[in-house]
Structure 1
Amino acid sequence: MEMVQAKELIYEYEKRDEEGNVIGMSRAIDGVDLDVLPGQFVAILGHNGSGKSTLAKQINAILVPSGGTMWVDGRDTRDPDELWNVRQSAGMVFQNPDNQIIGTVVEEDVGFGPENLGVPTDEIWTRVEESLKAVGMIEYRSHSPNKLSGGQKQRVAIAGVIAMEPKCIVLDEPTAMLDPNGRKDVIRTVQELRKKKQVTVILITHYMEEVIDADRVYVMDHGRVVMDGTPREIFSRVEELKQYGMDVPQATMLAEELRKRGLDLPRGILHSEELVEHIMALKKR
């Protein structure tokens, strides 16, 4: 059974004038199909306004469909009786960790979610310790979140979600406010967690390098899924991606430019190491 499944998903919101009167409807998600298997790492790409963040909020039932259906762990997100179960199954990490961290001490913040779930106190502290260790923040357990860097705060936010033991973690542009080193740390943390705990990861991003190790990539434009496939399949279609306002990983772009200059390189090269190997192979011919 799919961890997350959307069928002909539609989401519309009201457009209002300056006085607050409804003047029409705008469709943010338009007939999206999505299938995510347990344990998969799935990336969703798109330019600003493409609908990717709206789709992320559907998975956690922050928003519910206007049409079509969204299932999370076999539960219909529109069913109010399943809301609690849906949010236990799919934890959400937002772009700005300051919007998610509410505790004045790191360990108290991480323990807030499990406490709300009714987890016994001894189990809460066990989960807090394990979650902070998992994201490399155990030595900061007694610190104030306000004293942490952006990347450290984001790791605390991830730990807070992990402590609730969801089957799926949805990350809505979690590295958008971080520097390149901070972005790498957060993505590395998420990847390690996925391997250790076999959780499903859905990453919403516009940084191409973050998705090259995904199992599947979906590209959105104007509320629709316009491309889907493996990272290699997606990044083999450089010109098509450009039409949707997307970049490609640096190694992919360099390989494409070298191909245009006559080098016999395959499409869809993802890593710089891979590019070097192909160039060295050409020199040996």
Structure 2
Amino acid sequence: MSSEKMLQVENLTFEYIRRDEEGNVEGIKTAVDGVDLEVNKGEFISILGHNGSGKSTLAKHFNALLFPTEGTVWVDGLNTMDSQNIWDVRQGAGMVFQNPDNQIIGQVVEEDVGFGPENMGIPTEEIWERVEESLKAVGMYEYRKNSPNHLSGGQKQRVSIAGVIAMHPKCIIFDEPTAMLDPNGRKEVIRAARALNEVEGITIILITHYMEEVIYSDKVFVMDKGKITMQGTPREIFSQVDKLKELRLGVPQVTLLAHELQKRGLNIPNGILDRKELINAIKAYRY
């Protein structure tokens, strides 16, 4: 694996074994089915798919919460199946989950963010430096003395992101981080993820089923039934509106509107991603 690769997945298959009350095997479900995937350092990658497509199961392999039934996963050159690597893998690839309440343990925001580095044995002075930089990175520094219970969903999720950043990971995996948030909270979290990618150079992997969130990615992978069925830039993916509909996935509303206008004979480009692009395309068409 080259030094430029943050993640490399080869022929990954993961099976859940279902058992009855006596512990006998009832059935086997293949959640991830022969997936190959590469992510370079510093990229912003999105993995899309409806519920049950295997995207969250795949994500949990990226920081060794799950291990392959078959195939191999390397994180920053480390094979996750080698038990000696687990600590380094989890330190290198942090994870932000759906429900911030499951991740927040401290009574005060800054204590919560310092929890990870403290567990890593970082000296106290450096912990406070990390807490400060992490909270500033997600725009939550002024809340450092607050109790997490008094924060909004989006703010809590930003505190959990700060807790991951404080451990100085090279890669952060966001596993449907906005599923439980309102639209404003969703925007806050995606904005924080983009800033970490652009400013700090952290590799971001975003697992989501919200189309609007993936338009900033360098690359998008679409999953269905445990396999990767589409991959490309957001523009390439969103140029295939009908195929996405078949996979029970929507597209951003602006993209859909552009697609409908095209069908009615308006000669505008495929894969329009935001309002500004659509307005410019229509203006260019008229004159």
Normalised TM-score (structure 2): 0.98
Q: Deviations over 1:108-135 (max 9, x none)?
A: 0000000111111100000000100111
- Are residue 258 (structure 1) and residue 261 (structure 2) matched? yes
Q: Deviations over 1:179-203 (max 9, x none)?
A: 1111111101111111111000000
- Are residue 124 (structure 1) and residue 156 (structure 2) matched? no
1:226 counterpart residue number: 229
SS at 1:65 equivalent: coil
Looking at structure 2, the residues matched to 36 and 249 of structure 1 have their Cα atoms a distance apart, in angstroms, of 24
SS at 1:3 equivalent: strand
Name the aligned partner's letter for residue 123 of structure 2: P
Q: Deviations over 1:116-162 (max 9, x none)?
A: 11111100000000100111111111111111110000000000000
Name the aligned partner's letter for residue 203 of structure 2: T
2:202 equivalent among 194, 199, 206: 199
User: How many percent of aligned residue pairs carry the same amino acid?
Assistant: 66
* Deviation (angstroms), 1:54: 0.3
SS at 2:271 equivalent: coil
- Are residue 159 (structure 1) and residue 124 (structure 2) matched? no
* Deviation (angstroms), 1:70: 0.4
* Deviation (angstroms), 1:19: 4.4
1:46 counterpart residue number: 49
Deviation >6 Å, runs of 4+: none
* Deviation (angstroms), 1:17: 2.6
2:147 equivalent among 140, 144, 151: 144
The 5 A counterparts of 1:170-181 are: 170-181=173-184
* Deviation (angstroms), 1:268: 0.7
SS at 2:222 equivalent: strand
Looking at structure 2, the residues matched to 196 and 117 of structure 1 have their Cα atoms a distance apart, in angstroms, of 24
Looking at structure 2, the residues matched to 271 and 147 of structure 1 have their Cα atoms a distance apart, in angstroms, of 34
Name the aligned partner's letter for residue 41 of structure 1: F
Q: Which consecutive residues of structure 1, in runs of 5 or more, have no partner in the other structure?
A: none
The 5 A counterparts of 1:39-78 are: 39-78=42-81
1:238 counterpart residue number: 241
Q: Deviations over 1:211-235 (max 9, x none)?
A: 0010000000010000000001101
Looking at structure 2, the residues matched to 48 and 21 of structure 1 have their Cα atoms a distance apart, in angstroms, of 27
Name the aligned partner's letter for residue 55 of structure 1: L
Deviates more, 1:11-20 or 1:199-208: 11-20
Name the aligned partner's letter for residue 192 of structure 1: A
Looking at structure 2, the residues matched to 105 and 226 of structure 1 have their Cα atoms a distance apart, in angstroms, of 44
Name the aligned partner's letter for residue 229 of structure 1: G
SS at 1:58 equivalent: coil
Name the aligned partner's letter for residue 5 of structure 1: Q
Q: What CA RMSD, in Å, does the superposition of the two structures yield over aligned residues?
A: 0.8
2:96 counterpart residue number: 93
SS at 1:15 equivalent: strand
* Deviation (angstroms), 1:208: 0.3
Q: Which consecutive residues of structure 2, in runs of 5 or more, have no partner in the other structure?
A: none
The 5 A counterparts of 1:25-40 are: 25-40=28-43
Looking at structure 1, the residues matched to 127 and 231 of structure 2 have their Cα atoms a distance apart, in angstroms, of 39
* Deviation (angstroms), 1:283: 1.1
* Deviation (angstroms), 1:16: 1.9
1:249 counterpart residue number: 252
